[in-house]
Amino acid sequence: MDTGLSLITFVLPNTSIRTMKVTVVGAGNVGATCANVLATREVANEVVLLDIKDGFAEGKALDIWETAPINLYDTRTIGVTNDYVKTAGSDVVVITSGLPRKPGMSRDDLIATNSGIVRSVTNSILEHSPDAIIIVVSNPLDVMTYCAYLAANKSSSKVMGMAGILDTARYRAFLAEALDCSPKDIQAVLMGGHGDTMVPLPRYTTVGGIPVTELINSEQLNSIVKRTKKGGGEIVNLLGTSAWYAPGAAAAQMVEAIVRDQKRIFPVCARLTGEYGINDLYLGVPVKLGKNGIEEIIELELNEEEKKLLSESEKAVRGVAEVLDRMTADSSS
């Protein structure tokens, strides 16, 4: 019987949606916080949390996953104990592994211990995810990022460290308190090493587009700069251990910029090859972050005082990097 109806066939294009996968190595406070932020913000389809302690990552990942029905997200969090096969195909890997400096431990001891950990983790990750972009959070940050770069044997645009976003966040938070304004309206950039030699740039700090120097006196601003340089120590003095909420969130923000190709401008620990007159050194500078990792290193026009501070920071970081170079040379001889 002719019903007068015709069958219309729709041919859908054969498009496959690529899933995104992020691995966080180290399920301690910083690593777990990073994984939690990544999941809550649905930055990737899958977040793998890996640790060497039996059951530790599994427990943290399960706890995070059980918040999904509450916080309304779909990202799956999976915990594994030292099984790098489960990390295969990761687009971005965050390395938080390493030991804190303990009483009686020299700087060289810390470098030797943590460089061994970072080197091993980097090799294991790249065995299963050769194209992964690596973000290092382990301390001492600048030299551990350099260590990962040496182990990875890939473009330095794919190996970077997280420090500047954390330091800048502290600076912006302190300014927001002092000015009684929203931290959302404060834009700033810091350069140099992660620690006492970081280089704040008040000249490039704005509040709602207004230069911060027009809103706060130099004495208050200098006090905030000093507090920022000691920001990590302030947390340690209060808690008896290192910070984790802000560092974990900062690392997650870097991952998001890469995975979503946001082209964000962030201060990042990057390898310099002539920029700012500095060669072959990982140091905090403003960069553009996108799907290819560090897509551009931005060179600011620094004044003489800023150049002097950056030079001092370079010397401090290079001194630590040379310790690693000597250790590497000794182990290969």
- Determine how many CB atoms are found less than 10 A away from the CB of residue 56: 18
Please tell me the distance from the alpha carbon of residue 148 to that of residue 131, in angstroms, as a whole number.
14
| 79 close to 57: Cβ distance less than 8 angstroms | yes
Show contacts of 205-213: CB within 8 Å, 24+ apart.
205/171, 205/175, 207/175, 207/179, 207/181, 208/181, 212/175, 212/186, 212/188
**Which H helix or E strand runs over 76?**
strand 76-81
How is 108-173 classified by DSSP, letter by letter? HHHHHHHHHHHHHHHHHHHHH-TT-EEEE--SSHHHHHHHHHHHHTS-GGGEEE--HHHHHHHHHH
- Determine how many CB atoms are found less than 10 A away from the CB of residue 259: 19
Please tell me the distance from the alpha carbon of residue 304 to that of residue 307, in angstroms, as a whole number.
5
Amino acid identity at 46: E
194 is catalytic: yes
| 187 close to 205: Cβ distance less than 8 angstroms | yes
CA Rg value for the chain: 22
The residue annotated as part of the active site, out of 21, 158, 194, 318, is 194
Task: Match 């870097």 to its residue by tokens.
Answer: 254
What are the residue numbers of the active site? 194
